[in-house]
Amino acid sequence: MKRILLSILLLSTGLSYGQKKLDTQISKLTAEVETSMVEWRRYIHENPELSNREFNTAKMVAEHLESLGIQVETGVAHTGVVGVLKGSKPGPVVALRADMDALPVTERVDIPFASKVQSTYNGIETGVMHACGHDTHVAILMATAQVLSQMKKDLRGTVKFIFQPAEEGPPVGEEGGAKLMLKEGVFQNPEVDVIFGLHISSEIPVGKIGYKPGGTLAAADRFRIVVKGVQSHGSKPWAGVDPISTSALIINGLQTIVSRQSELTKEAAVISVGLIRGGIRNNIIPEEVEMIGTIRTLDVEMQDLIHEKIEKTAKLIAQSQGAEAMVEITKAVPVTYNDPGLTAKMLSSLNKSVGEENVLLLKASTGAEDFSFFANEVPALFIRLGGLPESHKEGDYIPAHHTPDFYIDDSGLIHGLKAMVNLTVDYMNNN
């Protein structure tokens, strides 16, 4: 019995020593790459690219992975890059994902690396900006690849680095994003066992990480409503049917679906119109108006009910004005689901990365992520990374994601890097 107890003690001591050695190595390697990671992020921020057009970003990523001796595949789902790093010891296949695309937003932030890029989106001239922080995700995963490649002899398994295009949605008429990557076999050869991802947040303070087991981000669906009226002179609106005034009534009607017809104590829901266009001149009432928007839900039954009511509301309001409404609803992105068992198991890795007091249990968000497609295939954990500057004072304005003033503090990147490395290494060692 004494021999057995002694063996257990020696084994436990050996494992503890081995883990401490790995933790020390991770701390050293992440610190060494931090400066480069910030430089990569700033370069990508200054040179943003829209969905399915991330050509230069993909080239930069592929060249970096190849320089580390990582097996690289390019052109996945148009511009995606996938790297495979095989550890020296057998073990699970851990996938890590970063999204690469920027948004049609004109930057207003006064920083040396602000974007000056211009493009066309939906037929409209616009600036292009990383207004959701995907530049930080790419830089963090590039740094993660560098650290893990330097730890190859200690890795118990394989890491698959997934640099994904078109998270914000592919251009109309194109496929793209996580769904297309899966369709093209990104989880095969080798077959993925688990996946981790993160999203930086302008609302969470630097140095903190947020998580939520179960449904953490909403389903996102796209709707398009075309209101057809009868064109007339602006001085005689009674001679036609005005689709602009009808559209205004429809937009107001859509909001009552959430505020008056949805059980919001069950889950949150949102209907937002993001684009409306119609007409060409001040004194012509046009024949047609188009509006495009998003639907966010966290419950499948509410999702179906809201879809039904959008169609009914738009068509009946249009009919009441003598107009006609055509409604198209496309299910785009499902709820992002964090596997509860995996989440509980990996909490110690997050605690180790930023300190237990800085790991926050969050409520579900009406934001959406096509990481959800990956999470529907294998156990997944998707975390939120703090990017709000430490200098921020309570009550100060915080620019939201997808806006011209969106800002992320670079000092938060190191915490995302540590989290991604710790999640990978700890999962391998415990499985």
Q: DSSP labels for 340-357?
A: HHHHHHHHHHHHHHH-GG
- Nearest Cα to 237, choosing from 225, 249, 246, 248? 246
- Nearest Cα to 77, choosing from 54, 104, 95? 54
Catalytic residue of the set 49, 54, 99, 101: 101
- Nearest Cα to 226, choosing from 143, 124, 311? 311
Q: Active site includes 66?
A: no
Catalytic residue of the set 167, 168, 369, 370: 167
CB 129 within 8 A of CB 144: no
Q: How far apart are CA 135 and CA 100, in angstroms?
A: 7
Between vectors from CA 292 to CA 287 and to CA 298, what angle results, nearest 5°? 150
CB 202 within 8 A of CB 209: no
Q: How far apart are CA 213 and CA 26, in angstroms?
A: 26
Residues in the chain: 431
Residue 67 one-letter amino acid: S
Q: Active site includes 357?
A: no
Token digits of residue 227? 């209101």
To the nearest 10 degrees (0 to 180), the angle between helices 134-150 and 413-430 is: 50
Radius of gyration of the chain (CA): 24
Indicate the SS3 state at residue 270. Answer: strand
Q: How far apart are CA 7 and CA 2, in angstroms?
A: 9
Give catalytic residues, as residue numbers. 101, 167
